[in-house]
Structure 1
Amino acid sequence: MEPHRFDLDAIGAGLPVAAARAELGTAADAGAMVVTAPPGTGKTTLVPPLVANVSAGLTLVTQPRRVAVRAAARRLAQLDGSSLGGPVGFTVRGQRQVGAGTQVEMLTPGVLLRRLLADPELPGVAAVVLDEVHERSLETDLLLGMLAEARQLREDLLVGAMSATLDAAAVAGVLDGAAIVEVPSALHPLAVSYAPSPALRLDARGVTREYLDHLARTTARAQREQGTDALVFVPGAREVDEVVSRVQSLVGDEVEVLALHGRLPAAQQDRATGGRRPGEPPRIVVSTALAESSLTVPGVHLVVDAGLSRQVRRDRGRDMSGLVTVSASRAAAEQRAGRAARQGPGAAVRVFAQSDLAGMPAQSPPEITATDLTDAALAMACWGTPRGEGLPLLTPPPPREIAAAEQTLQALGLVDADGRPTASGTRVARLPVGVREARALVDGAQRLPGKDAARTAAEVVAAVSDDHRPTGADLSRLLTDLRAGRAAGAERWRRERDRLARIAADADRDGRRGAPAASLTAADVAEQAGAVLALARPERIARRTADGSRSYLLASGTRAALPEGSGLLGREWLAVWEVQRAEGRAADGTGAVIRAAAPLSEQDAHLAGADLLVSRRTAHLEGGAVRARERRALGAIELASTPVAATAADTVPAVLAQVRSRGLAALEMNGAARSLRARLALLHRELGAPWPAMDEDHLLEHLETWLAPQLSGRTTRLASVDVTSALRSLLPWPEASELAALVPERLAVPSGSSARVDYPEPDAEDGRPVVAVKLQEVFGLAETPYLVRGRVPVLFHLLSPARRPLAVTDDLRSFWDGPYRQVRKEMRGRYPKHPWPEDPWTAPATARTKQGQSRRGP
């Protein structure tokens, strides 16, 4: 059967991007293309069918969100005069509508990522187009790098990247020099105004109620004045629902107010993105950022922008990732405003001050720099590039974050010590859920007691995968309400539960994970939920810190508190799913609040966290003596501690523990040690590796490497430790032979003597080496000495005969020709016995007085 040919004249009619059809066709023929086109120019509508015609085969097109996938597929099918599932189809999580004759399939990046991992050659696929690359979502970044490598397996695979705004040259570079097509903006006249709120936009709890009131009033007034459909941008689903309610109460039945966000049922999303039908009243669509660039809401000539965005932020210290509300980027503000002028003249009202615009970041940070990388790390491992090494990425993963993600995968048994996927890891990567959810789903189905284990696991995973916020952090209570249909989104949860239950049943039937570990014991429904969560996040198994306390210690070492009045209060053990940074009374002094958790039995805590159970011997110094204990712990949670007799082998660990506790100050470094540390710190700052870092955190982290070899079984006094020799053990060879030349301890001066070089403290980011010397000792010295291969100038502190500072300079030539005259005028009367010549260039440098010079003779 001949492939379907799309009528590009009909599809592109009236679209600005149609003017670039010839250039787009040439780029597609080349096999790789990068298209930049502002929102509303029609790139998502025209480029996919054009590529499908060129490639004469199935073209996959990613959209970053499910609502955008459906909207784009529906729009293209409508213009093609066909029905969904025919030449145009789509696939999102839990929903697929394609047919044997489908030529363009819209799908989310996650769906494509799993297909690519299952078979990197993508059999049956002629082309792949990644849309909205500028959003820098983690999955799209991974796909770009993987598809660049896939083209090496299949030279016939056409790969394209599209975006509203991006660094086209960088993307083209990843795709090995792809052709770049720039489609100019087709903006109609746009009037931009500002309506800042008298109330704060944000406080510690998020967007303020007063600001939402002001936003709703501004929206109603602007829509009434403009008399057109409006699109309102707010940061999240909660704000969407609150603004919809406020605006509706202001406009009554004269205007239809619709919500648009990812938590809504598909029918409601499609209603908001489908455009106004003839005879219907004007519409106000209140949306999250998903309407910013990934889809077009027809008929909009007014945009009201709160100037806020919901972005992922990671708290490395507490091992927490979460969404926070921040100012949007300037690029986002421009794209949002531009939505009003795509189909004719429009107006944009920014509900913030014009001065705020300058303070917004130019672009939003790439997601790979700010989010939990566990899922991405498994994908990269399964692709054959553990930690992303060798994978052409626009932005490499942060080393610390990717290392932490790999450790998590190792704890879950999904990658080996080299970062390569285990058999379980390969299977989990292909499941249509996240890594942690997959582990909880499949293991929970096998290890929970009872015949309904798979259903129970699916219920829990479905609840935590959605955007629910359990009252009082009590997930077990939320599950009760969802089962009874009392909670918002219960129908959506039931559909997801059934989908996940089928996945769990398939995995169990196929024996995908082999022999299960020890069965869990929870018979109580609430504790079963906790057991499932503990399988997903064993590092967040938590124990109460004291009777009657709201505070819990997580196995990861983080402390967090339950909300006041939580139904989980009094539970000894919890499995925590979500934890969020917080201050004040809510955090109970821990710095974090538990947002979602379920009760857990102690036995199941040990079973689910089996890989975190450790027995270790610890030792510490106390009153000059070594004390030792045998400790059993689940991660950071101490289960038992028993004093035991100390041995000589306990001494070194005790000393190291004391240093870690008190810091490097405990070592009482002498001048030589402090100087060597400062010299090495400057070398590391200027030259990097192999010269070692000398900051306190780095040295404390590596005490076993440099300090432990200097200790013995009899060392109990820190003051007796030879720190200089310990630091010298870190010197790289053969580079160490250059140490004295690169950073000398003393510097020769013209008088014939030498002066000590004082190096900056190791934590000084731009500190300079200083030489303090009597002014008379450097007469005639014109060129300021440079250290570290000419990189760092010496800063001279020129001193009086009484060794008080007269001048500070790193430009001696300028000093002799200028400021010296004033110094001479002031000093020669005060110190007449010392030389103060009119011409410092020809005067002999000396450390002596005039009389001393004459006795010494010529």
Structure 2
Amino acid sequence: MGEGNGVVVLPLHGELSIEQQSAALQPDPHGRRRVVLATNVAESSVTLPGVRVVIDSGQAREPRYDPNSGFSRLETVNISQASADQRAGRAGRVAEGWAWRLWPQSQRLEPQRRPEIAQVELAALALELAGWGSDDLRFVDPPPAGALSAARDLLQRLGALDTTLAITPLGKRMLALGTHPRLSAMLLSARGEEERALACDLAALVEARDPLRSGGDALAARWRALAAFRQGRMSADAHRSGLAAIDAAARQWRRRLRVEVPPPREPEAHRLGDLLAHAFPDRIARQHPLDPRRYQLANGRMARLFDDSAIFGEPWIVIPELRFEARDALVLRAAPVDEHYLRQQFPQRFSSQDAVRWDAGKRALSAQRETRFDQIVLESKPAGRVDPQHAAAALTEAVRDLGLEVLPWSESLRQWRERVRCLQAWLPEAGFPDLSDEALVDALDDWLRPAFAGKTRLDALGEDELSDALKSRIDWSQRQRIDQLAPARISVPSGMERRIEYAHGQPPVLAVKLQELFGLADTPRLAEGRVPVTLHLLSPGGKPLQVTQDLRGFWERTYPEVKKEMKGRYPRHPWPDDPWSATATHRAKPRGT
């Protein structure tokens, strides 16, 4: 609270005590003018008496999922038009007022705020649903399926859900703590009063803003700064207010967990990381054997250290905060973790198995006997002969990486695929499947993997087998309709069958010699008459004379000029004055006629 020149300045936000919030909601007892600095709490139904002027920054602090930390954190974002209207209305609650908006008039705001459920991390919600025993709730805005699936995957790693997605006894204890499942798992993993107090410190540290000015990636440096603060010593590199807030949060955690002892003055080297491994099991990482600055994470991704990293050389680390980038994520905060501790605490995550992969250099499959910690390969040895049972999956992944062009496409199969794609666009109500590259790659396991059964090489798949695999995506009755609606060949008046060329997004093309169409008045049409064929009318020598979708107009307007030009060049071919009634032919006239 500030005062001066007969004005009192009052804050209003959700973290204030009830008494402090009440002061902002009451008229000043001394009749002074009030300035209320408010967050979005002022957009609730409360009325601030005497407010006649609103100064709107156009921004708000809203929860957003932070993939770097794995938590939802407040971010400063632009408000919606609905919020701007509501804020302006504050100035006119009790009398006419003014609203000053601190953004350009040309700036366009979103009409409404995005629902919070669509932009936050959902692990806590998923745990609540599992605790209730059902997710059959009528949400106003349903949670995104991808975010909910990722949340459940995390909860399984934390031990809160079993393989059937039912809540476990540990999950029930985590739910009772009422905090983020990551933190709950860590707090419940601690053994002994001193370790539980240390876990409270870590819970406060990972949720807080960085208390150090210089940054750096060692989480231990933040904890040491906190320990020094408690002993009355302050590093020039630290923010006093930040450390005070972290200390207060840690004390609150100790009260909630009924921890009576303080944290240790100097924990063992791996103790911080060992605790954090229970909160971030997906971010346990092992140093790459060939590049000491790179680490492979338990979730399969790669991360790299800063050039001046304080944890360089550690064989195992846990990473509570990293920045996701296109190739390798960047480690922002980490602590070393002991491999012996991981083997003791997570024995089920260490495994040995045979793995079959595509070797791009040799263009062949290779079999390896691998020892792993989740997705981290600890040791790999040649396993000899490739097991056909695993080969189909590896060959399918090879196609996913190399692209569909590595498959043995015949020209007829390419055209069949294009016919289906065209029909999907021309007759959307007919229900033909999507055979685009993206759709086929997404569904490789469904249609292609069975065709690789028993094979150990890409080139072992034949054209006929590929054709059968692709066509298996369409039932027999629909396959019959393809030939009816988009035939591969069409009969022309000369009595011959000519091929139609199909390409998705383009009209079908029939290239045919002009003499073969004598007597045909109108352009052929496909797909129940919806799509005209584009005619490439050719000379007797196969050269293009005209491209048209209007055959009738060609006979009426263009043919006389073509006849005049071509008759002398191709005298042995018919050029009748009346193409409507002439006999179509694919042959030249006999010599001497």
Q: What's the TM-score bracket when you normalise by the shorter of the two chains?
A: 0.7 to 0.9
Q: How many residues align?
A: 557
Question: What residue in structure 1 maps to residue 396 of structure 2?
Answer: 656
Distance 1:800 1:327, change over 3 A: farther
Residue 703 to residue 786, structure 1, CA distance change in 2 (3 Å): closer
* One-letter amino acid of the counterpart of residue 786, structure 1: A
Q: Does the CA-based 8 Å contact 1:416-1:422 persist in structure 2?
A: yes
How many angstroms does 1:768 deviate by? 5.1
Aligned pair in 2 of structure 1 residues 616, 412: CA closer, same or farther (>3 Å)? Answer: same
Per the alignment, do residues 740 and 666 of structure 1 end up closer, same or farther by CA in structure 2, a change over 3 Å counting? Answer: same
Choose which of 536, 539, 564 in structure 2 pairs with 1:799: 536
Within 5 Å, give how 1:780-795 maps onto structure 2.
780-781=521-522, 784-786=525-527, 793-794=530-531
Given the alignment, which residue of 82, 106, 113 partners 1:364?
113
How far the C-alpha of 1:344 sits from its partner, in A, is: 2.5
Q: Is structure 2 residue 178 aligned with structure 1 residue 440?
A: no
Cα distance change on mapping 1:492 and 1:712 into 2, 3 Å: closer
Q: What is the aligned counterpart of 1:730 among 473, 497, 509?
A: 473
Q: What CA distance in whole angstroms lies between the structure 1 residues aligned with 2:531 and 2:537?
A: 19
Shift of 1:278: 4.3
1:488 aligns with 2:241: yes
In structure 1, the partner of 2:263 is none
Cα gap change, 1:393 to 1:645, in 2 (>3 Å): same
Larger radius of gyration: 2
Question: Does the Cα contact within 8 Å between 1:534 and 1:609 map onto a contact in 2?
Answer: no
- Structure 2 CA distance, aligned partners of 1:607 and 1:296? 58
2:350 is the alignment partner of 1:604? no
Which residue identity does 1:363 align to in structure 2? Answer: Q
The code of the aligned residue for 2:121 comes to D
Mapped partners of 2:394, 2:7: distance in 1? 73
Q: Which residue of 451, 461, 464 corresponds with 2:206?
A: 464
Q: Give the superposition deviation at 1:785.
A: 3.4
Deviations 1:457-490, CA, capped at 9 Å, x for gaps: 2221233344556633443333333442564355
CA deviation after TM superposition for structure 1 residue 538, in Å = 0.6
Shift of the 268–626 alpha-carbon distance from structure 1 to 2, 3 Å rule, reads: same
Answer whether contact 2:493 2:584 (CA < 8 A) is retained: no
SS at match of 1:300: coil
Query: Judging changes above 3 Å, is the alpha-carbon distance between structure 1 residues 625 and 466 closer, same or farther for their aligned structure 2 residues?
Result: closer
Structure 1 residue 456 displacement after superposition: 1.8
For the residues of structure 1 that align with 2:353 and 2:574, how far apart are their CA atoms? Answer: 70
Aligned to 2:237: none
* Offset from partner CA, 1:611-662 (integer Å, 9 cap, x none): 5434332233453654322122223322212223224536545533432332
Which segment is superposed worse, 296-305 or 531-540? 296-305
1:598 corresponds to which letter in structure 2? Answer: A
User: Structure 1 residues 648, 329: closer, same or farther in 2, change over 3 A?
Assistant: same
CA distance change for structure 1 residues 267 and 757 in 2, over 3 Å: closer, same or farther?
A: same
- Of residues 385, 388, 400, the one that matches 2:146 is 400
The 1:854/1:402 distance shift into structure 2, 3 A limit, reads: farther
1:500 to 253, 262, 268: 253
User: Normalising by structure 2, what TM-score?
Assistant: 0.76
Change (3 A) 1:627 1:559: closer
1:259 and 1:287 in contact (8 A); partners too:
yes
Q: Are the counterparts in 2 of residues 415 and 422 from structure 1 also a CA contact under 8 Å? A: yes
C-alpha distance in 1, partners of 2:429/2:69? 29
Which of residues 221, 225, 228 in structure 2 aligns to 1:477?
Answer: 221
CA distance in 1, matches of 2:365, 2:354: 13
Which amino acid letter does the alignment assign opposite residue 127 of structure 2? L
> For 2:36 and 2:269, how far apart are their aligned partners in 1?
39
Counterpart mapping for 1:337-736 below 5 A: 337-357=88-108, 360-385=109-134, 388=135, 390-442=136-188, 444-446=189-191, 450-467=192-209, 471-483=215-227, 484-485=229-230, 487-490=240-243, 492-501=245-254, 503-504=256-257, 524-525=267-268, 527-545=270-288, 551-562=294-305, 565=308, 567-581=310-324, 590=328, 592-607=329-344, 610-619=347-356, 620-621=358-359, 623=362, 626-649=365-388, 651-679=391-419, 693-696=434-437, 699-700=440-441, 702-711=443-452, 713=454, 715-718=456-459, 720-721=461-462, 722-732=465-475
Closer, same or farther: CA 684–422 of 1 in aligned 2, 3 Å: farther
Distance 1:324 1:498, change over 3 A: closer
* Cα distance in 2 between the residues matched to 1:350 and 1:804: 66
Gaps of at least 5 residues in structure 1 are 1-243, 507-522, 584-588, 761-766
- Taking structure 1 as the reference length, the TM-score comes to 0.55
Structure 1 residue 270 corresponds to structure 2 residue 21:
yes
Deviations 1:756-792 (A, max 9, x none): 25142xxxxxx356334459659544785336xx9xx
Question: How far apart, CA to CA, are the structure 2 residues paired with 1:846 and 1:556?
Answer: 72
Query: Secondary structure of the residue that 1:371 maps to in structure 2?
Result: coil
Deviations 1:105-148 (A, max 9, x none): xxxxxxxxxxxxxxxxxxxxxxxxxxxxxxxxxxxxxxxxxxxx
Distance 1:311 1:350, change over 3 A: same
Cα distance 1:616–1:750, how it changes in 2: closer, same or farther (>3 A)?
farther
In 1: Cα distance, 2:202 partner to 2:452 partner: 52
Distance in 1 separating the partners of 2:271 and 2:300:
24
Please list, as runs of the form range in 1=range in 2, the aligned pairs for 1:710-789 lying within 5 A after superposition.
710-711=451-452, 713=454, 715-718=456-459, 720-721=461-462, 722-732=465-475, 738-741=481-484, 744-746=487-489, 753=497, 755-760=499-504, 767=505, 770-774=508-512, 777=517, 779-781=520-522, 784-786=525-527
Query: One-letter code of the match for 1:534?
Result: A
* Structure 1 residues 421 and 529, CA gap change in structure 2 (3 angstroms): same
* Matched-pair contact (CA < 8 Å) for 2:574–2:589: no
1:386-412, Cα deviation, whole Å (9 max, x unpaired):
xx4x42222333333322222222333
Paired letter, 2:536:
L
For the structure 1 residues 468 and 317, does the alpha-carbon distance in structure 2 shift closer, same or farther, using more than 3 Å as the test? closer
Question: In 2 relative to 1, CA 689–364 (structure 1 residues): closer, same or farther, beyond 3 Å?
Answer: farther
Residues 499 and 676 of structure 1: CA distance in aligned 2, closer, same or farther (over 3 Å): farther
| Structure 1 residue 438: Cα displacement | 1.6
Alignment of 1:218-229 (within 5 A): none
1:304 to 51, 55, 63: 55
SS in 2 for 1:616: strand
Distance 2:84 2:510 in 1: 54
| Cα distance change, pair 254–742 in 1 and its aligned pair in 2 (3 A) | farther
Helix, strand or coil for the counterpart of 2:106? helix
Q: Which moved more, 1:301-310 or 1:347-356?
A: 301-310
Unaligned runs of 5+ in 2: 235-239, 260-265
- CA shift, 1:735, in A, is 5.6
> 2:319 is paired with a residue of what secondary structure?
strand
Distance of aligned partners of 1:797 and 1:253 in 2 relative to their CA distance in 1, 3 Å threshold? farther
d(CA) in 1 for partners of 2:277, 2:95: 54
Relative distance call for 1:820 and 1:736 in structure 2 (3 A) is: closer
Distance 1:556 1:845 in 2: 73
Q: Kindly report the root-mean-square deviation, in angstroms, between the aligned alpha carbons of the 2 structures.
A: 4.6
Matches within 5 A, 1:158-237: none
Give 1:539 deviation, angstroms. 0.7
Instruction: Read off the aligned partner of 1:361 and give its amino acid letter.
Output: E
